[in-house]
């Protein structure tokens, strides 16, 4: 039985649609004066963050609280991890405290998979970003946002063209989106300098290009990625920020090449003036702030489907 969310690629189309539809129902809650449901009362969600985060951590916290779960926020800075405590001992401590779900962000690719496979924790593991590997709830919130604007009456993204631009090499957002959006029937194009495309990208369900302008006229949405300097992007990968921006940044001129209905997305945090200009980030086509709102609803749906007792009804007993 699947009880974790580790990779966007683990979700079948029906399962992904179930999460997105559930998120749609939960989004309505955000407009009510009292934004809380009693569904996860008495359950404990631990946010285990070994890496910096603004949006993802507070989003999971808001999601768990809106479902009435108890939330424990653990950040590696200021914890015994800085005294050398291992992932295993940290996990055993959380298990001893009775965590029903552990939302984990870690600088090492595969850390959430290790937690799920090792059996140190009985609860559900949710990958909130592991190294340069995956960030499945970001992909779900991006797909949710795209569906609200671009889907036909059936809520389908079949045949929609999504262009993902920038530092694909270091981006867990790109990989999770490539997997999920193609599962949902969209056509994904990755645009990056050759140095910022990962080895093995030819096995991803995408097409790739080094040239941004020609892809824009056909795009239903462009998703801009941050240049991840903390993971080494910058030095050596391209000549200068100015040149990167000229070739791979979206500015008012490039936005003008998009069809009228096309959207601009960015997972945040943005480097304004590098991959996206301020006027594009703040334009009416930008759904960047809406992505944050939708992220809470999507994470509520994930926690609800993983933790709520009544929902073990999916095919093969999976919560999705």
- The contact pattern for ligand NCD, residues 181-220, with x = CB under 6 A and - = no contact, is ----------------------------------------
User: Applying CB under 6 A, which of residues 57, 66, 135, 161 lies at the interface with ligand NCD?
Assistant: 135
172 binds ligand NCD, rule: CB under 6 A: yes
If we measure between CA atoms, which residue out of 277, 289, 302 comes closest to residue 135? 302
State residue 155 phi and psi, 5-degree precision: 75, 25
β-pair partners for 161: 187
The least CB distance from residue 230 to ligand NCD, in Å, is 9
Burial pattern 141-156, b for ≥16 Cβ within 10 A else e, equals bbbbbbbbbbbeeeeb
CA atoms of 139 and 11, how far apart (whole Å): 11
CB 281 within 8 A of CB 272: yes
Q: How far is CA 1 from CA 197, 224, 291, 306, 319, in A?
A: 34, 35, 30, 11, 8
Nearest-approach distance from CB 133 to ligand NCD, in angstroms: 10
Extended strands (E) in the chain:
44-49, 70-75, 101-106, 124-130, 161-165, 187-191, 207-209, 221-224, 263-265
Closer residue to ligand NCD in complex, CB, 268/314: 268
Query: By CB under 6 A, is residue 268 in contact with ligand NCD?
Result: yes
Least distance (Å) between residue 30 CB and ligand NCD = 19
CB of 76 to ligand NCD, least distance (A): 15
| 173 touches ligand NCD (CB under 6 A) | yes
How far is 18 from 287, CA to CA, in rounded Å? 23
Q: Given candidates 267, 298, 300, 306, which one binds ligand NCD under the rule CB under 6 A?
A: 267
Q: Which of residues 74-103 bind ligand NCD (CB under 6 A)?
A: none
| Least separation in angstroms between CB 83 and ligand NCD | 25
Least gap, CB of 268 to ligand NCD (angstroms): 5
The footprint of ligand NCD (CB under 6 A) covers: 55-56, 129, 135, 138, 172-173, 226, 228, 267-268
């Amino acid at each position: 039985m699947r009880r974790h969310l580790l990779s966007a690629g683990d979700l079948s189309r029906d399962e992904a649609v179930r999460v997105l539809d559930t998120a749609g129902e939960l989004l309505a809650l955000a407009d009510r004066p009292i934004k809380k449901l009693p569904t996860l009362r008495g359950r404990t969600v631990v946010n285990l963050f070994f890496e910096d985060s603004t949006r993802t951590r507070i989003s999971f916290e808001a999601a768990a609280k809106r479902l009435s779960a108890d939330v424990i926020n653990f950040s590696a800075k200021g914890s015994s991890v800085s005294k050398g405590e291992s992932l295993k001992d940290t996990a055993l401590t959380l298990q001893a405290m009775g965590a029903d779900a552990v939302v984990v962000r870690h600088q090492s690719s595969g850390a959430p998979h290790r937690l799920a496979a090792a059996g140190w924790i009985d609860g559900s593991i949710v990958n909130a970003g592991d190294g340069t590997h995956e960030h499945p709830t970001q992909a779900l919130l991006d797909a949710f946002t795209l569906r609200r604007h671009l889907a036909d009456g059936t809520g389908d993204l079949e045949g929609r063209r999504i262009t993902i631009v920038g530092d694909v090499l270091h981006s867990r957002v790109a990989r999770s989106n490539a997997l999920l959006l193609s599962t949902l029937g969209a056509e994904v194009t990755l645009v990056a300098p050759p140095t910022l495309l990962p080895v093995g990208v030819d096995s991803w369900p995408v097409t790739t290009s080094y040239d941004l302008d020609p892809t824009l006229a056909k795009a239903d949405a462009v998703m801009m990625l941050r240049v991840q300097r903390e993971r080494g992007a910058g030095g050596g990968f391209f000549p200068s920020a100015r040149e990167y921006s000229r070739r791979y940044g979206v500015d008012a001129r490039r936005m003008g090449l998009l069809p009228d209905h096309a959207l601009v997305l960015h997972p945040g945090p943005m480097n304004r003036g590098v991959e996206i200009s301020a006027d594009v980030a703040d334009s009416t086509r930008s759904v960047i702030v809406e992505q944050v709102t939708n992220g809470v609803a999507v994470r509520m749906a994930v926690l609800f489907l993983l933790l709520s007792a009544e929902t073990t009804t999916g095919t093969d007993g999976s919560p999705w």
